Structure 1
């Protein structure tokens, strides 16, 4: 993949793709900040189909039965560990709350549509930049 040819991301729930091992599925797991505070639940995963890699977690917080909930995209590169149905993110809850939001009704996300801003906020190299190394998600 080159910087000139980024691919779009799709919600895994809207594809025929499955994870290689179902026990690695973090959807429904609790996302926790590096300060130990709960952020929310992993609502979905965004993947790039050509490489069959999870790139972003959609973490949902607040609201009642999904109404009024806030969503944050978190690069898998920010995940520190996954164990006991908890996904630990390498940022505090307050830092994640300040991250760029997004519209959870989007079924596809173009990498250059605010993802530069998202990866910049987290201080991470975007997956479409030459030399990027996949973090080995899901860390179980």
Structure 2
């Protein structure tokens, strides 16, 4: 058991497969969706986006909403991530259904700008 815990989760770190599927809540405790995946910068190793899966039924017909990673806070009591996002704002956010965007600087500025977060990458 200790070996499994050490490779999947510690006090500070968590394995990527444990993040995917984690529920995301807003500050009111309302479930917004779940983390479908996250995007990591190849050079720095820093997570840039959590891609929130939202809408649809049982994952069918749902859209994917990139959210700047730094907007998420992990809440141990909820066992999920908490974001300061209103559901109506999420519904209007940049998103995609099946074809993933380029995740280039232009798209990054659009996503970060929508959420009011400074785009920290050149």
Q: TM-score range by the shorter chain?
A: 0.7 to 0.9
1:75-134 deviation digits (Å, cap 9, x = unpaired): 01211334243100122222222211135432852122x2212111111111305xxxxx
Say if 2:108 is the partner of 1:123: no
Give SS of 1:109's match.
coil
- TM-score, length-scaled by structure 1: 0.67
Q: Which residue of 2 aligns with 1:53?
A: 46
Correspondence 1:37-76 to 2 at 5 A: 37-76=30-69
Instruction: Return structure 1 stretches of 4+ with deviation > 4 angstroms.
Output: none
The answer for unaligned runs of 5 or more in structure 2 is 1-5
Say if 2:77 is the partner of 1:91: no
Q: Give me the whole-angstrom Cα distance separating, in 2, the residues matched to 1:21 and 1:53.
A: 19
Native 8 Å contact 1:34 1:93 kept in 2:
no
Q: Which residue of 2 aligns with 1:137?
A: none
**What is the Cα deviation at residue 33 of structure 1?**
1.2
Native 8 Å contact 2:26 2:85 kept in 1:
yes
Q: Which has the larger radius of gyration?
A: 2
Looking at both structures, which has the greater relative contact order when contacts are Cα pairs under 8 Å and sequence separation is at least 6?
1
Q: Give me the whole-angstrom Cα distance separating, in 1, the residues matched to 2:89 and 2:65.
A: 11
Native 8 Å contact 1:77 1:124 kept in 2:
no
Give SS of 1:123's match.
coil
**Inter-CA distance 35–95: structure 2 relative to 1 (3 Å threshold):** farther
Q: Give me the whole-angstrom Cα distance separating, in 2, the residues matched to 1:108 and 1:75.
A: 16
- Please report the RMSD computed on the Cα atoms of aligned residues, expressed in angstroms: 2.3
